[in-house]
Amino acid sequence: MKYKKAIEFGKNLRAERIRQGYSLESLGEKINLNPTHIGKIERAELSPTLPTILALLSGLNLKLEDLVKLD
């Protein structure tokens, strides 16, 4: 069973990526991450490491709280 916060993070990541006009490929190129890897994170099939989370946040100019509710 997928962890609820991972699902929330992935859905919000995808929504924000699309809102900012990035394809998986263009975001991957910007942050030097494989687009397939990003897609798996968005679908909560893969839990990202801290460096990956930081790269995603930096690439999209976001804070962690923008993608997942910290409670």
Chain centroid, CA 36 distance in Å: 12
Helix, strand, or coil (residue 30): helix
Closest CA to 3 of 11, 16, 62, 27: 11
Orientation angle between helical segments 50-60 and 35-42, nearest 10 degrees: 100
Instruction: Please report which confidence band the pLDDT of residue 1 belongs to, taking 50, 70 and 90 as the band edges.
Output: low
The structure tokens listed for 26 are 């263009």
Provide CATH code, domain 4-60: 1.10.260.40
Average confidence (pLDDT) over 35-63: 97
**What local confidence, expressed as pLDDT, does residue 57 receive?**
97
**What local confidence, expressed as pLDDT, does residue 23 receive?**
98
pLDDT at 70 over 90: no
The amino acid at residue 35 is P
Which residues 6+ apart lie within 8 Å of 10 measured at CB? 41, 42, 43, 44
Average confidence (pLDDT) over 5-12: 94
The model's pTM is: 0.91
**What local confidence, expressed as pLDDT, does residue 71 receive?**
74
Domain limits of the chain? Answer: 4-60
